[in-house]
């Protein structure tokens, strides 16, 4: 590297890189968002997405997974890069570019593992509090991406427990799209993907006869995940 090139780099203003995760969960009834108080909020009514800083020796994916683990104790979950936010004054403290990700977890499985270092809380997507900086914009883009991906790929299964019923699956997709779905058409389209295995078990308490439980065929799921499935065309109607 020449001295002139070194001087050009040194003359540039340094910029911080933050990584923020929009963490969606499903509690069986509602789609929820995991938010925290990190001590940088303007006041007691402002909440933040989970996030942290990029280290000099890390790639973006590595940093995103590390931060998510540090804040939640979660590993091996669905995490996808969403968008980069770089408005000059988005962070009033320091010039910061934020790379956002969205993650999908099952609330029932992981709610007890959230780090106690920060005040964390699950919020209904219908009752979100005031969010820090441009985090509200990040959430809006994340739900749009989630709905698109859920309509084309079997991404929704990431939000469910290992065993589930078709009515539970329908309730999940109704929560994602925030709209009712026709029961008969939904069941037909879901089963036509051949991604589900029907078990010899029933969920008791749902009805007198009980609803059969299903699980995802992992081999087919991995094979077809990136295939254009037209999973729920036209919102599932």
pLDDT by residue for the chain (237 residues), tens only, comes to 788 888 888 888 889 999 999 999 999 999 999 998 876 666 678 999 999 999 999 999 999 999 988 887 888 889 999 999 999 999 988 999 999 999 998 887 665 555 566 788 899 999 999 999 999 999 999 999 999 998 888 888 899 999 999 999 999 999 999 999 889 888 888 888 888 999 999 886 655 677 899 999 988 888 777 665 565 544 444
The answer to whether the Cα torsion of 219, 225, 228, 230 is positive or negative is positive
Q: What is the pLDDT of residue 44?
A: 72
pLDDT at 227: 62
Write the CA distances from 201 to 165, 197, 213, 215, integer angstroms: 10, 11, 6, 11
**How much is the pLDDT for 236?**
43
How much is the pLDDT for 51? 92
Domains of the chain: 7-151 (3.90.79.10), 154-236 (1.10.10.10)
pLDDT at site 143 = 97
Rounded CA gap, 173 and 169, in Å?
6
Three-point CA angle 41, 44, 45, nearest 5°: 95
Residue 138 near residue 20 (C-beta atoms within 8 A):
yes
Taking each helix axis as running N to C, give the angle between helix 183-192 and helix 166-177, from 0 to 180 degrees, rounded to the nearest 10.
Answer: 110
Token reading at 169 = 């699956």
Q: Taking the model in full, what pTM does it have?
A: 0.88
Pairing of strands 130-131, 46-47: parallel
CA nearest to 182, candidates 126, 232, 125? 232
CA distance 192 to 195: 8
What was the pLDDT predicted at 233?
45
pLDDT of residue 60: 97
- Tokens representing 25? 């969960």
CB 49 within 8 A of CB 21: yes
Count other C-beta atoms under 10 Å from residue 230's C-beta. Answer: 12
Residue 25 and residue 112: Cα distance in Å, rounded? Answer: 13
DSSP 155-206: GGGGGS-SSEEHHHHHHHHHHHHTS---HHHHHHHHHHTT-EEEEEEEETTS
């Amino acid at each position: 590297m020449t001295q002139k090139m070194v001087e050009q780099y040194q003359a540039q203003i340094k910029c911080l890189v933050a990584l923020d995760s929009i963490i969606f969960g499903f509690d069986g009834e509602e789609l929820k968002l995991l938010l925290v108080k990190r001590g940088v909020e303007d006041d007691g009514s402002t909440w933040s997405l989970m996030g942290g800083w990029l280290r000099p020796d890390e790639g973006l994916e590595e940093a995103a997974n590390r931060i998510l683990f540090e804040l939640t104790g979660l590993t091996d979950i669905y995490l996808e890069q969403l968008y980069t936010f770089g408005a000059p004054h988005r962070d009033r403290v320091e010039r910061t570019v934020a790379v956002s990700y969205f993650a999908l977890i099952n609330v029932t499985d992981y709610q007890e593992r959230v780090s106690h270092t920060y005040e964390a809380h699950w919020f209904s997507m219908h009752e979100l509090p005031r969010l820090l900086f441009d985090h509200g914009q990040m959430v809006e883009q994340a739900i749009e991406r989630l709905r698109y991906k859920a309509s084309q790929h079997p991404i929704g299964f990431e939000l469910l427990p290992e065993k589930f019923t078709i009515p539970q699956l329908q309730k999940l997709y109704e929560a994602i799209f925030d709209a009712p779905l026709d029961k008969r058409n939904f069941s037909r389209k879901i089963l036509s993907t051949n991604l589900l295995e029907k078990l010899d078990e029933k969920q008791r308490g749902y009805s007198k006869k009980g609803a059969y439980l299903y699980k995802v065929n992992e081999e087919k799921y991995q094979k077809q995940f990136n295939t254009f499935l037209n999973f729920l065309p036209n919102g599932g109607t």
